[in-house]
Structure formats: C-alpha cells, structure tokens
Amino acid sequence: MTRFLVTALATTALAGCATRMQPAPVAADPVMAMPVVPETPAAPKPQYGSFGFDNAGMDSNVVPGNDFYGFANGSWAKNTPIPADKSNYGSFAILDDVSRERTRSLIEESAKDPNSRIGAVYKSFMDQAAVEAKGLTAINPWLDQVRGLSDRAGLASLYAKSAELQIGTPFGGFVGQDDKQPDQYILSFYQSGLGMPDRDYYLSKDAKLVETKAKYLQHLTTMLTLAGEPNAAARAKAVLAFEDKIAAASWTKVDSRDATKTYNKYTLAQFRKLAPGFDFAALIRDSGAQGVGDVLVAQPTAITKIAALVGKAPLGVLKDQLLLRSLDTYSAYLPNAFDAENFAFYGTTLSGTPQQEERWKRAVSFTTSVLQDDVSKLYVARFFPPETKAAADTLVHNVINAMDSRIDKLDWMSGDTKVRAHAKLAAFTPKIGYPSQWRDMSGLQVNADDLLGNAMRSNRFDYAYNVEKLGKPIYKWEWGMTPMTINAYANFGMVEIVFPAAILQPPFFDPNADAAVNYGGIGAVIGHELSHHFDDQGAKYDSGGKLVTWWTPADTKAFQARLDKLERQYNAYEPLPGVHVNGKLTMGENVADLAGLTIAHDAYIASLGGKPAPVIDGMTGDQRFYLGWAQVWRRNYREANLRQRLLTDPHSPSAQRTDIVRNMDPWYPAFGVEAGQSLFLTPEQRVRIW
C-alpha cells in the first residue's frame, strides 16, 4: 500500500554545499613584486530570491492569519496562468516540465544511434503519419477477438487477456505483498468497471456531475461510431446503464482506503462461493498466475454484486464495454480521431484542460513508461550526482532523528507503544534518488515502426513481470516511481520511504538556500512520508510491515479523538461553492502534513545547535520556515480538475494543505496571528498529534 509524497538536511550538509571556495595560493607579480590575492568567488545563490524563497510571489496585502496561502503565494497565483496543456500548474508541474526536457535530451541523443531501443520507441510515437496510415489495422485483431466472443463461457478467458493488455474490466487484480504476511506475495482482486473516476460521477444529482455524465455518454457513442460500430447511441446507453449498476454496487473511496476493511483473505473455494456469478477460477487459470492458494479481496460485497451483474448482463453489453475500454486505453496509439476524442472527454471535460500536450512530451512519457529502467539509468548518470544523493541521505536521517525524539514527547501514547514506535522507526529503509538495482528490460521487443505493438507488448511484459512474483521472495529493491518523477511515497509493507531524484530540486530543496526554507520545504515533505507510517492507516502496520494491532486500546482511542478533530477542521473547508473537502478521504494526507511539518520544525530547531536563528532580509527563522512550506504548494487549478480532486484525491487542495500551519504554536507569534482572524485557533482547538 502506498501513500503520496517527502526530507530535511543537516546544517552542516547545507553549509557544506554552500561554503565559499578556499583562496588560491598567493602568487608574486614579477613587476611589482607584490603579492596578488585573487578574489574569493561569491557563494552560489539560491534559485529563488535571496535565501530560497520567491518574495515576489507573496501578497503583502493579505493578512497571514486570514489566508496564509494567499499571503505567501497570492501574487504568484494572480500572475501565473495555467498552460493550455495542463489541468493545474504549480511547483510539481514546473519541475515535471524540467524533468521531461532533460529526459527528452537523453532520449533524442539515444535516437541518433539506429540500434538504440530507446530511440526506436521514441521514433514509433513521433511518427504520427505512420499511425494514421495504419488506421485500425494494428488493433483490429484484438477488437475482433472481443467482437467474436460468442458465449459467456469464454468471458473469463477474454478478461484474462484484457488484464494482460491492461484494459479495464469489472474486476481488477494484481500481485502484491500480503499485508499480514509481508514476506510473501499474493494475488489480490478489487472492484473496477467504471469509465469515470468515481461512483459519484454516476450517482450524484449535482448539476455539474449530471452534465459530465451526459458528456460521457456522448463520448461512448462517438468512440463506437469511430470504430464503425452500428447503433452506437443505443449501445453506448446500454453500457452506461450497466456501469450505473456497478457504481451503485461499489464501495466509496473512504471505505476503500481502510486497510482493515480491505484485507479479506479467501481460499479459492471460498472465493468461488463469494462471487458465483463469474468464473474466477477460469480467470485465474488463464491469467498465468501459478500456484495460487489464497487470494485477497479488497471489497468483497462489491465483488459479489458486480459478479452477479456480469452474470446477468447481456453478452453484447459486456463486449461493448470491453470494446470501449480497449479503444480508450490505446487511443494515444491510434489515428488522431480516437486520440482527440479520448482527450476531449478525459482531458477537457473531466479535468478542464483545453489543449493536449505537444507530441514530443507524450513521446517522452511513453518511452519512459515502456523502457522505464533503461531511461532512468541515463537520467541518474547525467542529472543526479553522488554528492546530491549523499546530502539527501543526511537530510532524511536528520528528520528520522527528529521523529524519534518527538515520540518521547507524546502525552497521549503509552510507554509500551512508544517502545514499539521507536522499533518501527529504527526498521525504516529510506530510498533516495534511484533503485539499488535495475530491472532487465532486454526481453521486451520494440520496433521503430510499430507504436501500438510497442504499447501492447510493453503492457504484456509488465503484466508477466507482476504475475511472476508469486512464490518468489519480496523484491525489496523495487521502486514504484522512476527517478524522474516529481513525487515521493511511503510503502507500509516494506517499511520504507522513497524519494526520487527529481524532487530534490528547488523549491523543495536547494543546497544554496537558507536552512529554514529547506526544512520547511523538502524537510516537511520527508517528514510527511515518514509520518505516513504512523497515520490513520500506516499506524496499523508494525515494524515488520505486518497489518496487526500493536497499539493499546487507550492509545487508539486517544489517537482517534485527534483524528476526529482534524476531520472536522477539514470538512469545514469549501474550495468550490457547495463542495467541501472530504475530511475522511483526505485524513491520511492531512495527518502526514501536520506531522511532517511538526517534525521538520523540530529538526530545524535542532540544526541551530542552541543558537538563535539568524534574521535574513528582516525575516526570522520561523517565518522563513513556514514560507518554505507554503512555497512548495503553489498551484492553480482549473475548476473541473479541482472538482475531480475533491471527489477522488486523498490529498486536500494546496491552499488547505498550506493552512495546516494553523495547528502549530510557533506559527502564531511568527506572523502575529490574533483572535478574530480566519485561521486563528485557540490552543485548545489546535490539533496536536505528533
């Protein structure tokens, strides 16, 4: 199970990266016979502002206690348009653009070699004329398999082939760690079958979502029409009606993020009884999974109902849904009419993005996804030097030490649980920059003139890689992100936190910036990922990564009381008229933000070695720390994207993430926050967890 987002650097490492060079030996001028002392080069400047924060992005007309996000980022927000090819724009997107430009340079260098596999994949995507010329020729053999299904007995086998191609069906599955036996892999199933992001898009009476649903129906109709299918409108309507029923049977995202509720182990015999409407035994047999004993089922009541729906649905509707999923899944590799229609719905209608990305950007993303580790090796060698990795390692361990000290200060956790919490912290594996070993991609066939084939073979290759884990030792070296990704995550079963190379850049981390800004930026992000292992779900996993109760009942009760308080705080936020933040859905991320920032502040204070923080440009250390936090969350959203996030994203929007500061005592005197201001909380109202 993974969670989103990560660090803090020791002052010595920061200072070491920013210290001035030593003067060269004194030379003698042969004419004047006087020593000449070369000027000492100036210390490198941070990328943003004079100390690592972009002061120009602030809005001093905003009162910090009323809107801290607006105070720190208001001018940036007003003056920064969202690029036409993006649904939102901020620190993450800015760095992602940098990452893709760098990756592009590496890929295009490789493409100069006619024997380069990386070059072949990139060329296949860039050759749009060849894609248009082929039409549906490349995908028709698969579509004909779907069209040719003549009886329900062959449905399970067809769904198994769909899974290999990563085409969605009413049931999702993967091989992953067994949460209660984390040294073993197990086959897991979960609810699926929806073409829109969440059940609410089907069931809600909200006018905006009703409008989106109508556009989805039109999208289904258009895709069937483009594929040459007759009676497209009626068939699309039947598929939508089927998905309406799946949506009604599906669990909410709140229930689906509960690690306890979603751990349900069954023998194969029990599983068949759980879902008699579908032949799961045949699906497993034809999936290539060998030696399956038990299986995990994330949402058993939903699987029972969805299996019954599949058992009763007309075969034609099931085939049409699979045709539509196939066309949408592979639209980027088909003629432009399919690609444009897919983007019109999923890009523009759902996310509000007016314009699709330039083809080279999508080609870079595609090449990276197909030959992930091959491209990653090039990136790391060019853009992530060993000294940066060493500095990041130090940062992470400083934050871990701060967390270790913080545990001892908790007044609501019992002594026995504190001992176990320390043991869990000691068991952590931080992964920085890139994996310790690379996956062998040589078995994947790629061709410069076969875009769709490259995509299909890549999906099958990745599918086989996943399924073949059954019965093998856990791949402890494996990563869930590339080094080029602007993100980070916590993996509960592995007891690890993972920070890709590309996030270790300004505004998250700048070796030339003031320590306070770095602690408020990447330090708080590191603390965020670290504390995920102690959030409302991560706290259910022990030091070995096992899903087990290791807190006392009193600890759990005290913890839950604090969670309830934070939930109420976030439920009150209303980013769009009538649409509130879902405090339960975002609980894990909100807890991690609060804990991460708290821990990072401790680490920053410790880094001062008992000395007062310097005042820089009239700003105190605490002011710079909290501004560093606010700066990383700069982001402008399109309304459709924000609406979708409020329904489906476990993270709160950026402004509300920034405002977690209202729960931290040092923030109040730092910015003169007073009673009566919008963000003011009395000491009793402030949520204190870690």
Indicate the length of the chain as a whole number: 690
CA dist 280 and 267 (Å) reads 12
Helix (H, G, I), strand (E, B) or coil at 428: coil
Choose between 500 and 392: higher pLDDT.
500
| CB 452, CB 143: distance < 8 Å | no
Number of domains in the chain: 2
400 pLDDT above the threshold of 50: yes
Mean pLDDT over the full length of the chain: 92
How high is the pLDDT of residue 39? 53
User: For the chain, what percent of residues have pLDDT higher than 90?
Assistant: 90
pLDDT in tens, 238-296: 999 999 999 999 999 999 999 999 999 999 999 999 999 999 999 999 998 878 889 99
Of 299, 325, 351, which residue is a domain's last?
Answer: 325
Decide the pairing of beta strands 27-28 and 35-36: antiparallel
How high is the pLDDT of residue 686? 98
How high is the pLDDT of residue 211? 98
What residues contact residue 222 under an 8 Å CB cut-off, 6+ apart? Answer: 232, 341
Same structural domain for residues 434 and 304?
A: no
6 pLDDT above the threshold of 80: no
Of 325, 340, 364, which residue is a domain's last?
Answer: 325
pLDDT band at 11 (very low <50, low <70, confident <90, very high): very low
How high is the pLDDT of residue 396? 87
How high is the pLDDT of residue 533? 95
Mean pLDDT of 641-646: 98
pLDDT band at 42 (very low <50, low <70, confident <90, very high): low
Instruction: Please give the distance of CA 680 from its chain centroid, rounded to a whole number.
Output: 31
Q: Which of 309, 462, 362, 314 is nearest to 85 (CA)?
A: 362
**Helices 140-147, 155-164: inter-axial angle, 10-degree rounding:** 160
pLDDT in tens, 479-490: 999 999 999 999
Same structural domain for residues 522 and 663?
A: yes
pLDDT band at 41 (very low <50, low <70, confident <90, very high): low
- Tell me, what DSSP letter sits at residue 613? P
pLDDT in tens, 535-564: 999 999 999 999 999 999 999 999 999 999
Question: Which tokens in the block code for residue 513?
Answer: 């910036």
Same structural domain for residues 262 and 410?
A: no
Question: Which tokens in the block code for residue 496?
Answer: 């690890």
Same structural domain for residues 240 and 167?
A: yes
Residue type at 655 in one-letter notation: A
CATH number, domain containing residue 618: 3.40.390.10
Cα 488-53-74 angle, rounded to 5 deg: 90
The pTM is what? 0.91
CATH number, domain containing residue 318: 1.10.1380.10
Choose between 92 and 397: higher pLDDT.
92
User: For the chain, what percent of residues have pLDDT higher than 70?
Assistant: 94
pLDDT band at 397 (very low <50, low <70, confident <90, very high): confident
In this structure, is residue 370 part of a structural domain? no
How high is the pLDDT of residue 395? 81
Q: Which of 679, 664, 652 is nearest to 63 (CA)?
A: 679
301 pLDDT above the threshold of 60: yes
Q: How many CB atoms lie within 10 A of CB 287?
A: 22
Helix (H, G, I), strand (E, B) or coil at 432: strand
Helix (H, G, I), strand (E, B) or coil at 433: strand
Cα-trace Rg, the chain: 27
In this structure, is residue 458 part of a structural domain? no
CA dist 378 and 376 (Å) reads 5
Same structural domain for residues 543 and 639?
A: yes
In this structure, is residue 24 part of a structural domain? no
Question: Which tokens in the block code for residue 167?
Answer: 């085409």
Backbone angles phi, psi at 295, to 5 degrees: -135, 155
| CB 281, CB 272: distance < 8 Å | yes
Mean pLDDT of 41-61: 90
How high is the pLDDT of residue 27? 29
| CB 552, CB 622: distance < 8 Å | no
In this structure, is residue 564 part of a structural domain? yes
471 pLDDT above the threshold of 70: yes
How high is the pLDDT of residue 390? 83
Within 88-232, strands assigned E span: 88-90, 171-178, 181-191
pLDDT in tens, 69-119: 999 999 999 999 999 999 999 999 999 999 999 999 999 999 999 999 999
Same structural domain for residues 534 and 607?
A: yes
Q: Which residue has the tokens 């009626």?
A: 234
Same structural domain for residues 430 and 290?
A: no
Q: Which of 633, 663, 575, 651 is nearest to 76 (CA)?
A: 633
Helix (H) / strand (E) containing 499: strand 496-500
23 pLDDT above the threshold of 50: no
- For 49: left if phi > 0, alpha if psi spans -120 to 50, otherwise beta; the answer is left
Same structural domain for residues 271 and 406?
A: no
Question: Which tokens in the block code for residue 665?
Answer: 């005592």
Choose between 526 and 392: higher pLDDT.
526
In this structure, is residue 353 part of a structural domain? no
Decide the pairing of beta strands 294-297 and 181-191: parallel
CA distances to 63, 190, 581 from 678, in Å: 10, 42, 17
How high is the pLDDT of residue 60? 95
Cα 375-356-84 angle, rounded to 5 deg: 110
In this structure, is residue 20 part of a structural domain? no
pLDDT band at 577 (very low <50, low <70, confident <90, very high): very high
Same structural domain for residues 609 and 482?
A: yes
In this structure, is residue 629 part of a structural domain? yes
Of 295, 325, 355, which residue is a domain's last?
Answer: 325
pLDDT in tens, 429-438: 999 999 999 9
Same structural domain for residues 508 and 618?
A: yes
CA dist 188 and 376 (Å) reads 29
In this structure, is residue 78 part of a structural domain? no
| CB 563, CB 432: distance < 8 Å | no
CA dist 541 and 257 (Å) reads 14
Domain extent, residue 211, equals 156-325
Same structural domain for residues 418 and 543?
A: yes
CA distances to 208, 533, 638 from 205, in Å: 9, 37, 22
pLDDT in tens, 437-447: 999 999 999 99
Backbone angles phi, psi at 504, to 5 degrees: -85, 55
30 pLDDT above the threshold of 60: no
How high is the pLDDT of residue 1? 35
Same structural domain for residues 530 and 644?
A: yes
